[in-house]
Amino acid sequence: MADDEAGGQPGAEGVRSRVTGAPGTGPRRPEWPDGAGRRRPSGRDRDTPRPVAPVVWTAAAVCAVSLAVLVFAARRPEVLQAMDEAVRDRLATADGDPAFAADLAALGPVLGYRVLWVPTAALLVWAARWRHLAVYLGSISLMAAIAQIAAGETQLAQVVRSGVTGSAVSLDLPAWPVIVLSTVAAASLYALAPSGPARRWGWAAVVVLVAGFVAARVALGLDALTLAVVSAVLGASAAVLVFAVLAPESEFPVTYRRRVKAHLDLDEERTGRVLAAVRDQLGLELADIHPYRLDGSAGSTPCRLTLAHGPPEHLFGKLYATSHMRSDRWYKLARVLRWGRLEDEAPFSSVRRLVQHEDYMLRLLRDGGVRVPEPLGVVEVLPGREYLLVTELVPDAVELLDSPVDDAIVDDALRQVLTLWSAGAAHRDLKPSNVLVQGDRVYLVDVSFGELRPSRWRQAVDLADMMLTLAVVAGPRRVVERAAAFFEPEEMAEAFAATNALTVPRQLATRIAETRPDLVEEFRALLPECQRIRTQRWSVRRVLLAVATGAGAVLAVALLALNLRAGGLL
């Protein structure tokens, strides 16, 4: 597999000569229009309006806490006392039953809390909205933890109380059931109702529910009106603030549509931002932007950009957002836990780094002779949050499996792998949707997983994935015969010795399972015998990370259960 070995094989002349992109018209590297001044950032990020809701709810929470402390710790003003007594007398019945009051106090946690939070959690699990589920359970668990610390009898609760108040005596929290109910109701609303009319009507239902509960407790003398109202505002504002910070609507919309979460909605607002950013930063005027081949992408939002003034008529764009960066982190953590430390599995620190890496890999592979779409540049749509990678849209290109795969196409596809080897790079995601055919020329697209200076094992995996992709249409025997002009039999055998469930991309694995389930074994039977190459890699880091992840998950579930039970939610 070494470069000096590849250079002496038949067909290597294509590696030594630079493979250029398809001839096309129109902009390649767009130049700034004459007379338009220097190209600089627009500065619109300074004028980006900040969300108002978090500020409003933060102010409400601070005011509610301050009023609660003032009213509870100090003697209430006579005006408030008179108002509380007047409202209580107005609502109270002549024959108030203390037993009924006790029953109501016990009924709140049963019918008020559990009837709300249990179905909400179940619905979030069904909709696979894990971010909302984690924030929802965390917000109501936090309130339950406060109850445990304030009134719990455990040694830990007493130690915490002593450190905070100077005494281990339990605290009598004012209107605590109202706080819990308002927290659960507001959190349920934000987890289930999308913004707009549905959420506004939901707020009306929350107000009616909490107000009815407050009126009943005030009528039975369980709470004073002022404390109950302040407690309701405190619980609701705390829940909404947690959702506004940890699950903002702009990044985690409430939806029940089954779709790939990596695909962003190209609504009117986002489309307008993209069109303006491309014009300001690349000097290209776009007429429109549409989703493009979403079925082949799960880590970005591919788009087709329509130029206002061609040719070419279209360009290609990949829209990245912070959600893609978070998905990349979880994906790489799962790979490390399952398979050990592979290659280039370090997560990106920002979405800017993510898109910069793909733009760099495109330019690196292009300069190394690999036939890839011509990169035009990176566009900052929202500073730090959304970026667009713009490349050429290869004209008249189709996916490999949608074209007649003759010998010329098989040869050129294998030649691209050989060129990757000579360039000292690996694609790491060769599958049908990433191998395009234009006439008898093959293009490799989606190089976001690309790696510079990979190991011998990683390069062998690229070869196996390309041969498997070709064999789905052309058959293994024909692919092996054509590959003999570029690779030694031992190199091909080594490639399939390294092949397993991890190394075959999901789309390719699905297609193989549907057409030729024994395709890998067919290749191995045609090639010299080679000892299997293990991909499991154990290290101290992997063991410690696995133990920490498992222990953290168990601790989080146990803490959640204890908090919910302490707050009367279980």
The full set of domains in the chain, from first to last, is 52-255+554-566 (no CATH), 259-392 (3.30.200.20), 399-526 (1.10.510)
Under DSSP, the state recorded for 401 is G
pTM (two decimals): 0.71
- Phi, psi angle pair for 550, to nearest 5°: -65, -45
Query: Which tokens belong to 12?
Result: 């290597």
Tell me which of 90 and 349 has the higher pLDDT.
349
Residue 544 backbone phi and psi in degrees, to 5: -65, -40
- DSSP H stretches of helix in 456-501: 456-474, 476-483, 489-497
Each residue's pLDDT tens digit, 422-478: 999 999 889 998 999 998 899 999 898 888 888 888 899 999 999 999 999 889 999
3-state secondary structure of 27: coil
CA 449/CA 328 separation, integer angstroms: 11
CB-CB contact of 303 with 290 (8 Å): yes
* Conformation bin of residue 347: beta by default, left when phi > 0, alpha when psi is -120 to 50: beta
CA dist 19 and 16 (Å) reads 9
Banded pLDDT at 23 (limits 50, 70, 90): very low
Q: What is the pLDDT of residues 232-262, one digit of tens each?
A: 888 888 888 888 888 888 778 887 766 556 6
List, for residues 493-552, the tens digit of each pLDDT value: 999 998 888 888 888 999 999 888 899 999 999 999 888 887 766 777 777 878 888 887
Nearest to 300 by CA among 340, 257, 247, 264: 264
Residue 310, classed as helix, strand or coil, is coil
3-state secondary structure of 528: coil
Supply the pLDDT for residue 214: 82
Report residue 304: phi and psi, to 5°. Answer: -110, 120
For residues 413 and 28, give the distance between their C-alpha atoms in angstroms, rounded to a whole number: 24
Average pLDDT, the chain: 77
> Read out DSSP for 218-267?
HHTTSS-HHHHHHHHHHHHHHHHHHHHHHS-TTTS--------TTS----
**Which position has the token pair 């790491």?**
428
> At 426, which helix (H) or strand (E)?
strand 425-426
Supply the pLDDT for residue 224: 77
Q: Which residues pair with 316 in a beta bridge?
A: 304, 391
Q: Do residues 393 and 315 touch, judged by C-beta distance below 8 A?
A: yes
* CA dist., res. 561 & res. 569, Å (int): 9
Mean pLDDT of 109-121: 72
Using only the alpha carbons of the chain, give its radius of gyration. 31
Give the Cα-Cα-Cα angle 496, 500, 506 (nearest 5 degrees).
115
Instruction: Tell me which DSSP letter residue 433 carries.
Output: G
348: nearest Cα among 283, 299, 306: 299
Pairwise CA distance, residues 482 & 467, whole Å: 10
CA angle 318, 324, 326 (to 5 degrees): 165
Higher pLDDT, residue 501 or 491 = 491
Question: CA-based diameter of the chain, in Å?
Answer: 103
Q: Which residues contact 4 (CB under 8 A, 6 or more apart)?
A: none
**E strand or H helix that includes residue 178:** helix 176-192
Instruction: Tell me which residue has tokens 């003759």.
Output: 406
Q: Which residues face 390 on adjacent strands? A: 317, 377
Only one residue has tokens 């369980």, namely 222
Q: Tokens representing 411?
A: 């040869």
Write down the pLDDT at residue 2.
Answer: 37
Q: How many residues does the chain have?
A: 570
- The crossing angle, in degrees rounded to 10, of helices 78-91 and 225-246 is 100
pLDDT (tens digit, 9 = 90+) per residue, 45-81?
555 555 556 677 677 767 766 666 655 555 556 656 6
pLDDT exceeds cutoff 90 at 421: yes
Contact present, 411 and 485 (Cβ < 8 Å): yes
